[in-house]
C-alpha cells in the first residue's frame, strides 16, 4: 500500500473532465485507488469512480490523499502524479 498527497492546481478543481482523466488512469491498473480530501470530512471515495471523485468537490488549491493498494500500485501512483503535475492538461 502506498499513499501520496497532491494539491489540486488546475483552475476548476476536480471537475468532470479532470475526474474522468483520473479515473481512466486508475482503471488501467489492478490496484485499488482510494481518494480522500484533506481538511474535508475525511470521507473516502473510489478513485475509479467519476461520481465518487466529484463528490469530493475538491477545488483548486485543496489537498487530496491518494491511496493505492495492489501489485501495480507504484505505476498507478506515478501515472496519477503525472496528471496532477500536468494540471490535467487543462488549457
Partner 1 sequence: MIVIKGVAASPGIAIGKALVLENEEIVINRVEIPPDKVRAEVRRFKAALDATYRDLDAAESKVLKMLGKEHARLIDTHRLILSDPLITKDVPKRIQEERVNAEFALSEALEVVNQAFEKIQDEFFRERRHDLFDVGKRLLSHLLKQERRTISGVRHPAILVARNLLPSDTLNLKESNVLGFVTDLGGKTSHTAILAQSMEIPAVVGLSDASHRIRNGDEVILDGDQGLVIVQPSPEAVEKYEKMRQRSIKEEEALDSLRGVPTVTADGHKLRMMVNLDTIDEMKAVLSLKGDGVGLFRTEYLYLNRSSAPGEEEQARAYSAIAKALDPLPLTVRTADIGGDRLAHLGLEVPKNETNPFMGLRGIRLFLKHPELLKTQLRAVLRASAHGKVQVMIPMVSSLRELQAARRIFRQAQDELAAEGVETAKKVPFGIMVEIPSAALMLDALIEEADFVSIGTNDLIQYILAVDRINEDVAHLYDPFHPAVVRILRHIVDAVHRREKKVTVCGEMTSDPKAVPLLAGLGVDNLSVTPRMFLRVKHIVRQISMSSARAMVERALTLSDSEQIRKLVSEL
Give me the residues that bind partner 1 (CB under 8 A), please. Answer: 9, 11, 13, 15-16, 20, 23, 43, 46, 48-52, 54-55, 57, 59-62, 91
Q: For residue 17, what is its C-alpha cell?
A: 473532465
48 belongs to the catalytic site: no
CA 72, 73, 79, 82 dihedral sign is: negative
Q: Which of 15, 17, 34, 63 is catalytic?
A: 15
- Within 10 A of 16 (CB to CB), how many other CB atoms are there? 12
> Can you tell me which residue has the cell 475525511?
42
Q: Report the residue number, 20 or 70, with the smaller CB distance to partner 1.
A: 20
Q: What are the catalytic residues?
A: 15
Amino acid at each position: 500500500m502506498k499513499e501520496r498527497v497532491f494539491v489540486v492546481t488546475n483552475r476548476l478543481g476536480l471537475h468532470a473532465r479532470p475526474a474522468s482523466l483520473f479515473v481512466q488512469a486508475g482503471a488501467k491498473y489492478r490496484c485499488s485507488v482510494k481518494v480522500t480530501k484533506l481538511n474535508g470530512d475525511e470521507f473516502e471515495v473510489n478513485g475509479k469512480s467519476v461520481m465518487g471523485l466529484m463528490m469530493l468537490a475538491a477545488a483548486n488549491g485543496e489537498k487530496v490523499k491518494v491511496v493505492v493498494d495492489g501489485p501495480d500500485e507504484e505505476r498507478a501512483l506515478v501515472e496519477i502524479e503525472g496528471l496532477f503535475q500536468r494540471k490535467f492538461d487543462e488549457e
